[in-house]
Amino acid sequence: MAGRGRAWGTPVVGLCLLLAALTGCGGASGTDPVKAEVQRMLDRRAVALLHHDETAYDRTGGPAQYGRLRAVPLASWTYRLTGLRRRGATATADAELRYRVRGYDKAPVTADRTLTLGRTADGAWYVTADRPARKAGQQLWDQGTVMAARGAHSLVLGVGRSADELRGYVRLADRAVPAVSREWGTDWSRRVVVLVPDSLNGMAGLLGSPASSYRGIAAVTTGEAGGPDRAPADRVIVNPEAYAVLGDVGKQVVLTHETTHVATRAHTDAATPLWLSEGYADWTGYLGTGRTAAQAAPELARAVQDGHVPARLPADKDFAFSTDAVDLARAYEGGWLACRMIADRWGEARLGAFYRAVGAHGKRAGAVEDALKNVLGTTPETFTAQWQDYLRDRLG
Average pLDDT, the chain: 90
Judged on CB neighbours under 10 Å (0-12, 13-18, 19+), 347 is: exposed
* 120 is a domain residue: yes
User: Where is the domain boundary, 112, 136, 160?
Assistant: 136
Range of the domain at 45: 12-136
Which pLDDT does position 340 carry in this prediction? 98
* 183 is a domain residue: no
**Strand ranges across the sheet with 217-222:** 6-7, 217-222, 235-238, 192-196, 154-158, 147-150
Crossing angle (nearest 10°) for helices 348-360 and 274-286? 150
* 381 is a domain residue: yes
| Average pLDDT value for residue range 217-224 | 87
* 335 is a domain residue: yes
For residue range 236-247, list pLDDT tens digits in order: 999 999 999 999
For residue range 170-200, list pLDDT tens digits in order: 999 999 999 999 999 999 999 999 999 999 9
Distance CA 53, CA 290 (A): 52
CATH number of the domain encompassing residue 49: 3.10.450.50
* 39 is a domain residue: yes
User: Where is the domain boundary, 136, 151, 186?
Assistant: 136
* 193 is a domain residue: no
For residue range 22-48, list pLDDT tens digits in order: 333 444 444 789 999 999 999 999 999
* 327 is a domain residue: yes
Which pLDDT does position 321 carry in this prediction? 82
Instruction: Please report, rounded to a whole number, the percentage of residues in the chain having pLDDT higher than 90.
Output: 84
User: Where is the domain boundary, 121, 136, 151?
Assistant: 136
Backbone angles phi, psi at 97, to 5 degrees: -90, 135
Task: Check residues 381 and 19 and name the one with the higher pLDDT.
Answer: 381
For residue range 307-332, list pLDDT tens digits in order: 999 999 999 999 988 778 899 999 99
| Average pLDDT value for residue range 69-95 | 96
Assign residue 69 a region: left if phi > 0, alpha if psi is -120 to 50, beta otherwise?
A: alpha
* 369 is a domain residue: yes
Q: How many domains does the chain have?
A: 2
